Structure 1
Amino acid sequence: MMEYITNKGKIMLKKKFIALLLFFTVLLGLPISLTNVAAAAAPKAKNLTSVTQSVNHASPETPIIFSHRGSPYNNPDHSFSGYNRAIKDGTQYIEQDVWLSKDNKLYVSHDDNLKKSTGSNVTISKSTSAELDKVKLRNGEKLHQLKDVFNRYGKKVHYIIETKKNAGDNTDTEKALAKEIKKYNMKNNLIMQDESIPGIKIFHKSLKNVPILWLLDSVTERQYSEEIENAPRYIKFVSIRLEQWTPKLIKLAHKNGFKTNGWIINTYNDNYNALNTLKLDSVFTNNTKETAHLIDKWK
């Protein structure tokens, strides 16, 4: 009888604890799903190899998957929930786009203006960290600084980070990124990506061993050919929009010592064109699970 009362009492206490937890969650205005994301340990990428090894072995037979903004189909861009999903779906690389705030903090967002991603008409480059830290993603997570991502995931996964800036801006974002990478000792855990050759040169001068992906921006095959032929040879990947890659450009990239990258993979046909027809060395995908499955299927 005493044992029954004790067990019953434990059950009642457990129920009261859960009720109190739910009460305070609602009181604080935190979505239950967000509470779970914040509380759960960050997942670790499966069979994680070194960045050097994955870059050196990137090929049509073993292409690298870069998870574009995390998992944007079912989660906000650059959210922890999206990164968690991508890691669980098999990625070794999660992507960050970083902007420099008014007080020189690196925030993770595809766009400078946050209206589309958060509903708040706030511009990162014109706002301070005190203002930006109040902004919430659409799932209730806060707008993350790059340091938040590093602190959460550490070396459980690799990163591919793009420096973002407005037309006419200088290389301050690249300098800030290099500084942040050194501070958190992440130089062996990431690839840097950039559209700007001046920015790439500044970054490479500071961190010579970090692989670089150059995002090319041209129109014609001839223009792309000129960019590839004149690209600094320390660049590891040349990246072109999927529809603009041609067999001639792929051959030229490989001839000049570069790995190839295509973006963005959305559909089965995109996967087929990138991996079977063009035979790219790496891809940015919005659906990590499908791309990983098809790579295994087509081996």
Structure 2
Amino acid sequence: MFKQMSVTILTGMIVTSNVTSIEASDKEKGLLDPERIVNIAHRGASGYAPEHTMLAYEIGHKKLKADYIEIDLQMTKDGHLIAMHDETVDRTTNGKGAVIDKNLAEIKQLDAGSWFNDLYPSNAKMSYRGLKVPTLNEIFERYGKKANYYIETKSPNVYPGMEEKLLKTLAQYGLSSGKIKPGQVMIQSFSQESLQKIKYLDPNLSLVQLLEAKEIKNISKNQLYTIKSYAVGVGPSFKGLTPISSQMIREEHLLLHPYTVNEESDMHRMLDYGVTGVFTNFADRFNEVRQQHTSR
């Protein structure tokens, strides 16, 4: 029995050593290195905690060791950038109505955690009740330059001046392009206009064009050439991605970060396609799959 236990322990040590070696090797590569596969915590660790809360970011960043925390932006009536996916507060709080019709004080009165307990009882925790919607300032105050950020300008046509406000906030916390490592702040959007506006305001920020499934299915070389003129990568729905479109994107030397990849089988398939990272609600799951893929 002792001999068998020793072998088991030794095997575990070898596996751990290999995993550590793989992670260390990957970390040596820059965030924009096309040979590095990044793990993006979609809305934080949203598979385990209420999305876009400080707790979800904390779990994704520290516990699950994601390379990036993803932040969707909305803007309040009084001009504050907050972390929220939807234009309304209905789905992820106990409130009702559009973000743009509420000031920050009203947003801060909302419970942004209890809905998660109701929807996912197997992952419910008392500590999730009463969680608050964070501002972008609060997130930057917590993590500063100790984290990598993947920020989306959500519905920028609804919020005039969102891009200027975002860049001003980045500058306030020393996160402008000239003061960070390349790729530490990634700005993504479905809006080409919003990305090109940011490109004009800060030419050196790393931008990513988001694409819906139907768009990536029919992507052309000319479209990719246009995207390459202002962005370093594309973020397509993984449901529309194919080996051919993946190859086209990589041939243009664009990063390829599909969303939102939660099942192990899909993670393996995306890695076989040659993606350079994924958005996932389960950063720990993707870490395991990425390690398996890298050690082949």
Which of 207, 211, 228 is matched with 1:216 structurally? Answer: 211
Alignment partners' CA distance in 2, 1:285 and 1:67: 6
Instruction: Please state if 1:196 is matched with 2:191.
Output: yes
Moved more, 262-271 or 222-231: 222-231
1:234 Cα deviation (Å)? 3.4
User: 1:264 touches 1:283 (CA, 8 Å); kept in 2?
Assistant: yes
> Partner residue of 1:185?
174
Q: What fraction of aligned residue pairs are identical, expressed as a percent?
A: 22
> Partner residue of 2:250?
254
> What secondary structure is seen at the aligned counterpart in 1 of 2:268?
helix
Alignment partners' CA distance in 2, 1:163 and 1:229: 22
Instruction: Please state if 1:54 is matched with 2:31.
Output: yes
Going from structure 1 to structure 2, the CA distance change for 1:171 and 1:201 (only over 3 Å counts) comes to farther
Instruction: Please state if 1:113 is matched with 2:88.
Output: yes
Which of 61, 70, 78 is matched with 2:52 structurally? Answer: 78
> What secondary structure is seen at the aligned counterpart in 2 of 1:272?
helix
> Partner residue of 1:245?
241
Going from structure 1 to structure 2, the CA distance change for 1:221 and 1:137 (only over 3 Å counts) comes to closer
Going from structure 1 to structure 2, the CA distance change for 1:171 and 1:58 (only over 3 Å counts) comes to farther
**Which has the greater radius of gyration?**
1
> Partner residue of 1:234?
230
Moved more, 173-182 or 222-231: 222-231
> What secondary structure is seen at the aligned counterpart in 2 of 1:144?
coil
1:211 Cα deviation (Å)? 0.7
Which of 61, 66, 76 is matched with 1:101 structurally? Answer: 76
> What secondary structure is seen at the aligned counterpart in 2 of 1:114?
coil
Alignment partners' CA distance in 2, 1:145 and 1:295: 32
Alignment partners' CA distance in 2, 1:132 and 1:171: 20
Paired AA for residue 97 in structure 2: V
Alignment partners' CA distance in 2, 1:246 and 1:222: 7
Going from structure 1 to structure 2, the CA distance change for 1:221 and 1:106 (only over 3 Å counts) comes to closer
Alignment partners' CA distance in 1, 2:227 and 2:54: 35
Going from structure 1 to structure 2, the CA distance change for 1:275 and 1:91 (only over 3 Å counts) comes to same
Going from structure 1 to structure 2, the CA distance change for 1:69 and 1:222 (only over 3 Å counts) comes to closer
Alignment partners' CA distance in 1, 2:278 and 2:159: 28
Alignment partners' CA distance in 1, 2:147 and 2:187: 15
> Partner residue of 1:39?
none
Paired AA for residue 94 in structure 1: I
Paired AA for residue 229 in structure 1: Y
Alignment partners' CA distance in 1, 2:45 and 2:94: 19
Which of 125, 132, 139 is matched with 1:149 structurally? Answer: 139
Alignment partners' CA distance in 2, 1:205 and 1:76: 35
User: 1:195 touches 1:216 (CA, 8 Å); kept in 2?
Assistant: yes
Paired AA for residue 240 in structure 1: P
User: 2:213 touches 2:239 (CA, 8 Å); kept in 1?
Assistant: no
User: 2:217 touches 2:245 (CA, 8 Å); kept in 1?
Assistant: no
Going from structure 1 to structure 2, the CA distance change for 1:247 and 1:143 (only over 3 Å counts) comes to same
Offset from partner CA, 1:120-171 (integer Å, 9 cap, x none): 11321111112112222112221111001001111221110001127x5365
> Partner residue of 1:124?
99
User: 2:280 touches 2:286 (CA, 8 Å); kept in 1?
Assistant: yes
Shift >6 Å, 4+ stretches: none
Alignment partners' CA distance in 1, 2:281 and 2:265: 13
Number of paired residues?
A: 248
User: 1:115 touches 1:121 (CA, 8 Å); kept in 2?
Assistant: yes
Instruction: Please state if 1:264 is matched with 2:260.
Output: yes
Alignment partners' CA distance in 1, 2:225 and 2:213: 14
Which of 282, 289, 294 is matched with 2:289 structurally? Answer: 294
Which of 47, 65, 73 is matched with 2:39 structurally? Answer: 65
TM-score w.r.t. the length of structure 1 is 0.77
Paired AA for residue 34 in structure 2: A
1:92 Cα deviation (Å)? 2.0
> What secondary structure is seen at the aligned counterpart in 2 of 1:53?
coil
Structure 1 unmatched ranges of 5 or more: 1-45
Paired AA for residue 101 in structure 2: K
Alignment partners' CA distance in 2, 1:251 and 1:290: 25
